[in-house]
Structure 1
Amino acid sequence: MKNSNRAIHAAREINAPVEAVWKALTQARELERWFPRKARVENGKVDLSWGGGVDWEMEIEEQQENKYLRLGYNEDHYKMVSAVPRRLAVEFFLEAKEGKTLLRIVHAGFGGESGWDEIYDGVRRGWDTESLSLKHYLEHHAGKDRVVALAQVNVQLPVQEVWNLLTRGGITVHGEQYVYTTPLGSRYEGRLVYLNPPQDLCGTLEHLNNAMFRLTAERFQPGADVTIWAWIGAYGVPAEVVKAEEQRWQRQLDELFG
């Protein structure tokens, strides 16, 4: 059996002072600028929501300003996986380095049973991309509100088949740059942030003021449908422009999988 208490580790060097990184982790408005769509931080609790039933409810177990934060999940957060309640927790370690910040993330408490595998892998990939989203926000758009486009659809198909349909227009990579042709022929290009076929494509969008784009195929619990997300987080772009992107993506997903 795998380790009965598996942990995820991620680390990022962020070109921002440690105080800015701390605020981005602990203040609701700052969290909404890089992580969930909605956040609430009050009375020792942190509630995050991405919409579509994807919600995290956590308690602040320990914090040392600008140094350390530990958030624990309520015990039934993963009861769909195990009949035995588990207390998962995510820890953030911050270290100031000449005006920059070294951020380490440790998300622990995942069971060793095979039923935990998809959730463990999804959270691991999630922190890979979300930590890069935090870095992108603080290094390029610090202090600016984010406008989000989110299109999604649930399908009963193998992940590889889903990926083949989403990328049939092609993805090309040249150094740090990428060009992605969407299923309906739109051209997305910018800096490649994360590519993990057949589940994840993440990059910036030059035509939307250096926005962050993520395309992912995810199963949120064992035996569930695959959820496809097309997500754009934009800064300094009119809301109606971002909404039009959301509608365009929803039409694409509906045509492909509806």
Structure 2
Amino acid sequence: MKNTDRSVHATREINAPVEAVWKALTDAQELERWFPLKASVNNGRIDLSWGGGVDWQMEIEEQQQNKYLRLGYNQDHHRMVSDVPRRLAVEFFLEAKDGKTLLRIVHAGFGGESGWDEIYDGVRRGWDTESLSLQHYLEHHAGKDRVVALAQINIKLPLQQVWNTLTKEGVSVKGDRYVYATPLGEVYEGQLVYLNPPQDLCGTLESLNNAMFRLTAERFMPDAGITIWVWIGAYGVPEAEVKALEQRWEQKLNELF
């Protein structure tokens, strides 16, 4: 059994002024344009929700405008994996560099015990993709509202079997480009953002006005089933079109699993 605490680290250089990055981290409307489905910021708190009981309720413990933000939350968030009281924290360090911003994220407080492994790994992979989602929003769609298609299903199958089913028609990568033949019978292609089989495929979706596409197979705690997420965050696309895509993915996931 491991006894040391663990922390997640992610660093991104974003081609946007530090004031824009700060606002994206601290303003509810801006947060919803790249991170959760719903956000609220008031009374020293930042509350984020992705639906389905996936929520973060965090207190602003310290902030220095355009430089540093620390958000803390209590052990109840992860009581499902440990009886040991813990308070976790997310820190954001911002540094202005020639009109760009160097953003460093540190998410700390995860237990070293094996029961924390899935949550730790999920947060680690999550910040890899979410920090890139922030970068994509600010560099390509700054100031535009986002419409999200989110389809998901919970199943009990081996992870590799799930991935093989989702990618049966093929995923190919050439340089920084990807092509994904989806179970919908459509081909998604664009810039590859993150590839981590058998759990993650993330890239831009050029055919949908340079949207952000994510396919994730996640286990939230030991011996739990697999949650499959298909997430498309689109900008400047009619909501009806995005929600129709969400319905098609939901139907397909139910057919496949």
Q: Same fold (TM over 0.5)?
A: yes
What corresponds to 1:52 in structure 2? 52
Conservation of the 8 A alpha-carbon contact between 2:58 and 2:71:
yes
Matches within 5 A, 1:191-210: 191-210=191-210
1:183 has 2:171 as partner:
no
SS of structure 2 residue aligned to 1:215: strand
What corresponds to 2:91 in structure 1? 91
More displaced stretch, 1-10 vs 91-100:
1-10
Structure 1 residue 115, shift from structure 2 partner? 0.3
Conservation of the 8 A alpha-carbon contact between 1:62 and 1:70:
yes
Structure 1 residue 41, shift from structure 2 partner? 0.6
| Superimposed CA distance per residue, residues 111-142 of structure 1 (whole angstroms, 9 cap, x where no aligned partner) | 01000001000000000000000000000000
| Superimposed CA distance per residue, residues 26-61 of structure 1 (whole angstroms, 9 cap, x where no aligned partner) | 000000000000001100111100011111111000
Distance 2:219 2:186 in 1: 26
SS of structure 2 residue aligned to 1:77: helix
What corresponds to 1:72 in structure 2? 72
What corresponds to 2:13 in structure 1? 13
What corresponds to 1:212 in structure 2? 212
Conservation of the 8 A alpha-carbon contact between 1:59 and 1:74:
no
More displaced stretch, 73-82 vs 46-55:
73-82
Distance 2:178 2:2 in 1: 36
More displaced stretch, 88-97 vs 218-227:
218-227
Q: What percentage of aligned pairs have identical amino acids?
A: 80
What corresponds to 1:250 in structure 2? 250
**Which ranges in structure 1 are unaligned for 5 or more consecutive residues?**
none
1:154 has 2:143 as partner:
no
Distance 2:72 2:251 in 1: 38
More displaced stretch, 132-141 vs 222-231:
222-231
What corresponds to 2:238 in structure 1? 238
SS of structure 2 residue aligned to 1:76: helix
Q: Taking structure 2 as the reference length, what is the TM-score of the superposition?
A: 0.98
What corresponds to 2:110 in structure 1? 110
SS of structure 1 residue aligned to 2:222: coil
What corresponds to 1:136 in structure 2? 136
Q: Which amino acid aligns with 2:169?
A: G
Matches within 5 A, 1:16-31: 16-31=16-31
Conservation of the 8 A alpha-carbon contact between 1:167 and 1:182:
yes
Structure 1 residue 85, shift from structure 2 partner? 1.0
**Which ranges in structure 2 are unaligned for 5 or more consecutive residues?**
none
Distance 1:159 1:193 in 2: 21
1:222 has 2:226 as partner:
no
SS of structure 1 residue aligned to 2:213: strand
What corresponds to 2:42 in structure 1? 42
Distance 1:229 1:252 in 2: 12
Structure 1 residue 3, shift from structure 2 partner? 5.1
More displaced stretch, 117-126 vs 239-248:
239-248
Conservation of the 8 A alpha-carbon contact between 2:152 and 2:253:
yes
4+ long deviations beyond 4 Å? none
Distance 1:196 1:70 in 2: 29
Conservation of the 8 A alpha-carbon contact between 2:184 and 2:248:
no
